[in-house]
Amino acid sequence: MATVSGSTGSDPSAMNDTTRGVIYLCAGLFVFSFQDIIIILLSASIPVHEIVFIRGLVAAPLIFFYVHYDSGFGALTTKRPWLHATRAVTMFVSYMSFYLALAAVPLTTAVALFFVAPLMITALSIPILGERVGWRRWLGVIIGFCGVLIILRPGIASIEPASLLAIVSALAYSLAQLMGRRLGATDSASVMSFYMAIVFVYLGGLLGLAFGSGEFSDGTNPALDFLFRAWSVPAWLEFAMLVATGFISAMGFVLLTQAYRVGEANKVAPFEYTVMIWAMLLSFIFFDSVPDLFTALGAALIAASGIYVLHRERKNKDSELGGRGPFQSRYAME
């Protein structure tokens, strides 16, 4: 993904810009964490395809006007519509998988497993983008996947199948991010996000037509029931929560975009992992839930390895994380 070099050294303005970038990033991730809480609260009554449909329906016009502010409506004309479409569908799979996981596993577990995505991006950048990855980054990737095994605890306890959905989400997200690197050379993040919202509306509607009758729902599995539940008219509070997901999506996107626009990406990106703090805090507030020892230890390993990989990428002058540039959030890029 193309970048624009930023200030370096001890320039006070560069330090102030980085601080502002970190503040924007943490605020954006905090906002997105509330979306996860809403998804969990709605998962017992509203089908996931209805949530995704309304989320996209609300977010699309908001992001459409942001495109005008960001780069002008002319930017919506793209020379690579099929790559946009492929990336958008891949992100749809990622979000759907993550939302389904939230219906069955604790938020902290789902978030921790999802954060294997940066490690997958590093590994997949070799066959897909032809990048070189040194042994130090490979070591970080291996340690991160050890953290995944600690959370899943294969052989000690039966693996919750829904936990694997969070890993599927991370894999799909990683592939979409790599496509985003190619698109970022010609298209802005706001344009990519707008097409994402449109695809969410379209595919959410198609799933609603396919499963909205509720005939496939048997109530035996929370994740599957979340997918196959019948489309319903939400109560006023539920409708307000559904609309809120669209506003949260647009607001979070703007905050994260600004974070990587004003701050140096290689200094801002490690703070993506603060979302784990928000997940633990909000899980405790809303559900009186705290992560068990294995989840906390695994999450710590994943976060540490991810930050180390980011550090090694910073050392690589060819890394996409050098300097200011297009939106590159590893958590909520749409």
Q: What pLDDT is stored for residue 334 in this prediction?
A: 46
Q: Mean of the pLDDT values across residues 207-232?
A: 88
| 17 has pLDDT over 90 | no
pLDDT digits (tens, 9 = 90+) for 250-270: 888 888 878 877 777 667 777
Window from 58-62, 131-135, 210-214 with minimum mean pLDDT: 131-135
Q: What pLDDT is stored for residue 221 in this prediction?
A: 87
Measured CA to CA in angstroms, residue 118 lies from 170, 177, 281 at distances of: 8, 9, 23
Q: What angle do CA 68, 73, 78 make, to 5 degrees?
A: 130
Q: Mean of the pLDDT values across residues 64-70?
A: 88
CB 211 within 8 A of CB 227: yes
Q: Mean of the pLDDT values across residues 3-31?
A: 67
Q: Mean of the pLDDT values across residues 33-53?
A: 94
Distance CA 152, CA 298 (A): 9
Helices (H), the chain: 12-42, 48-70, 81-102, 107-114, 117-129, 135-152, 161-183, 189-211, 222-228, 236-262, 265-268, 275-287, 293-315
Which DSSP string corresponds to 200-242?
HHHHHHHHHHHHTT-TT--SS-HHHHHHHSPP----HHHHHHH
Q: Which residue has the higher pLDDT, 95 or 310?
A: 95
Q: Which two tokens stand for residue 91?
A: 């992100």
Of 210, 167, 180, 186, which Cα lies nearest the Cα of 88?
180
Of 310, 304, 308, 311, which Cα lies nearest the Cα of 328?
310
CB 179 within 8 A of CB 128: no
Q: Which two tokens stand for residue 327?
A: 């939106």
Of 46, 45, 52, which Cα lies nearest the Cα of 204?
52
Distance CA 188, CA 182 (A): 11
Q: What pLDDT is stored for residue 13 in this prediction?
A: 54
Q: What pLDDT is stored for residue 156 in this prediction?
A: 53
Confidence of residue 321 (pLDDT cuts 50, 70, 90): very low
| 89 has pLDDT over 90 | yes
Judged on CB neighbours under 10 Å (0-12, 13-18, 19+), 237 is exposed
Q: Which residue has the higher pLDDT, 44 or 1?
A: 44
Confidence of residue 5 (pLDDT cuts 50, 70, 90): very low
Of 126-135, 184-193, 278-287, which one has max mean pLDDT?
278-287
pTM of this prediction? 0.84
Q: Using the 8-state DSSP alphabet, how is residue 158 labeled?
A: P
pLDDT digits (tens, 9 = 90+) for 291-318: 888 889 988 898 888 888 777 766 665 4
Q: What pLDDT is stored for residue 220 in this prediction?
A: 80
Q: What pLDDT is stored for residue 210 in this prediction?
A: 92
Helix (H, G, I), strand (E, B) or coil at 292: coil
Judged on CB neighbours under 10 Å (0-12, 13-18, 19+), 280 is buried
| 326 has pLDDT over 50 | no
Q: What pLDDT is stored for residue 102 in this prediction?
A: 94
Confidence of residue 35 (pLDDT cuts 50, 70, 90): very high
Q: What angle do CA 271, 260, 29 make, to 5 degrees?
A: 45
Window from 99-103, 118-122, 208-212 with minimum mean pLDDT: 118-122
